[in-house]
Amino acid sequence: FACLATVSNAQEAIYDESLIPEFTLPDPFTTTSGEVVENADQWINQRRGEILDLFASEVYGSAPPAPEEVRSELISYHANALGGKAIREEVDLLLGDEESPLVARLLIYRLQTDEKVPAFLALNFGGNHSIHPDPEITLNKNWMRNKPASGYENHQATEASRGASASRWPVEKIVERGYALVTIYYGDFDPDFDDGFENGLHGEYPGSGESISPKDWGSIAAWAWGLSRALDYLEQSPSIDGERVAVLGHSRLGKTSLWAGASDPRFALVISNNSGCGGAALSRRRFGESVRRINTSFPHWFCDNFLKYNDNEDELPVDQHLLIAAIAPRPVYIASAEEDRWADPHGEFLSALHADPVYRLLGTDGFGGDAAPEEMPEINQPINSGTIGYHIRSGKHDVTDYDWDQYLDFADRHLKSTDE
């Protein structure tokens, strides 16, 4: 434990299971006042709300209420995209100020069919135009992080960034499997740098007033809120089934998809790809990225109250298994990667495992179907028969075809069942 006390941001992270201090996770079935949750009603009506409030006040920050009306504008429509296989649309969501709203642009690919299709909704890191080389996707002009990939200069995307992230987005396959893909550049909602709550949704909806309160929403909450606003739009769409929308995200956007899915019960399925600290990984393990490290590198992601838990994880009134549990009984899939030790694959698996009793209380088949797994599965051996899915694949921090193949199978099972 002595070594932990000296861990500062510049020092080495823990990568050895034997250095993890002993800890006790908050019990899903004991309320803050010490009452024991005995049945599903009590979980849903009492404990779940309490957990969501704690995540809002101590971890991600509180978001404003949903706007009363959905404002949108069709920007482009192409009936024969992807070589004639799909419809491609761009739709602007207009948020906040009537005169000069914040604009978030949805890029949608879907099959040409009269039936409403289920959808994957996911934020992207490099602009909508980065997900596919399709030259007609609008090039995003907003502030971008400079990416290691070519095509980004001085925080701006250039033409050379078209399709830069295409390996993470098997668009044709998703559409052929009968799903719409809906994606939005995350920086349309909130640019990913610490600007003291000035720009993006923070500027549009200034939380509690003149000064920033320790509970005001960080960027993860803003991105998650943006996903809910996209769902507002999809619910009204004549071509997409708003009741069958899976929300998916990678890394910081995986943290975001989990918070979106937990805080907005309209999401039918939730997918976390390599989300790590502040996502699926248990904070108390302090393995790889710790609370202090994440708060130091990315002070704008969480609310200021989260700083209280730097080197003080045991005082957190929640841990990330409760975030997964708050999604129950809806299906959730957590994916890790073998070389992504920074995101603590074992801690991600344990969150799924410790959420399992809640899924079972709510009448689902939980993690692993008949019985929860006793140990982490082997590499590339998904556990996907229950309502909680999990895999650890070979390779690094990324989204690969292997990951998508599992998500598509999982979604087929949960969003396309014939007895609906």
The values of phi and psi at residue 65, to 5°, are -65, 160
Residue whose CB is less far from ligand GTR, 113 or 297: 297
Return the residues of window 280-299 that contact ligand GTR according to CB under 6 A.
289, 294, 297
For residues 246 and 336, give the distance between their C-alpha atoms in angstroms, rounded to a whole number: 18
Number of residues counted as binding ligand GTR (CB under 6 A): 7
User: Any idea how long the chain is?
Assistant: 420
Amino acid, res. 276: G
Pick one of 252, 300, 346, 360: the residue that binds ligand GTR (CB under 6 A): 252
Largest CA distance in the chain: 64
Pick one of 140, 237, 251, 295: the residue that binds ligand GTR (CB under 6 A): 251
220 binds ligand GTR (CB under 6 A): no
192 binds ligand GTR (CB under 6 A): no
Residue whose CB is less far from ligand GTR, 219 or 237: 219
134 binds ligand GTR (CB under 6 A): no
In the complex, the smallest distance separating the C-beta of residue 409 from ligand GTR, rounded to whole angstroms, is: 25
Query: In the beta sheet, which residues pair with residue 104?
Result: 93
Can you say how many angstroms the Cα of residue 106 is from the centroid of all Cα atoms in its chain? Answer: 17
324 binds ligand GTR (CB under 6 A): no
Helix segments in 329-388, DSSP class H: 345-361
Query: In the beta sheet, which residues pair with residue 184?
Result: 123
- Rounded alpha-carbon distances, angstroms, from residue 360 to 223, 234, 370, 420: 30, 30, 10, 21
For residues 222 and 195, give the distance between their C-alpha atoms in angstroms, rounded to a whole number: 14
165 binds ligand GTR (CB under 6 A): no
Residue whose CB is less far from ligand GTR, 297 or 385: 297
In the complex, the smallest distance separating the C-beta of residue 277 from ligand GTR, rounded to whole angstroms, is: 5
Helix axes 48-55, 252-263, angle to 10 degrees: 140
Catalytic residue among 251, 257, 263, 272: 251
Tell me the pairing of strands 332-337 and 388-393. parallel
Residue whose CB is less far from ligand GTR, 43 or 185: 185
For residues 184 and 180, give the distance between their C-alpha atoms in angstroms, rounded to a whole number: 13
| 251 counts as catalytic | yes
| 397 counts as catalytic | yes
276 binds ligand GTR (CB under 6 A): yes
In the complex, the smallest distance separating the C-beta of residue 365 from ligand GTR, rounded to whole angstroms, is: 31
Q: Which residues are catalytic?
A: 251, 397
Interface with ligand GTR (CB under 6 A): 251-252, 276-277, 289, 294, 297
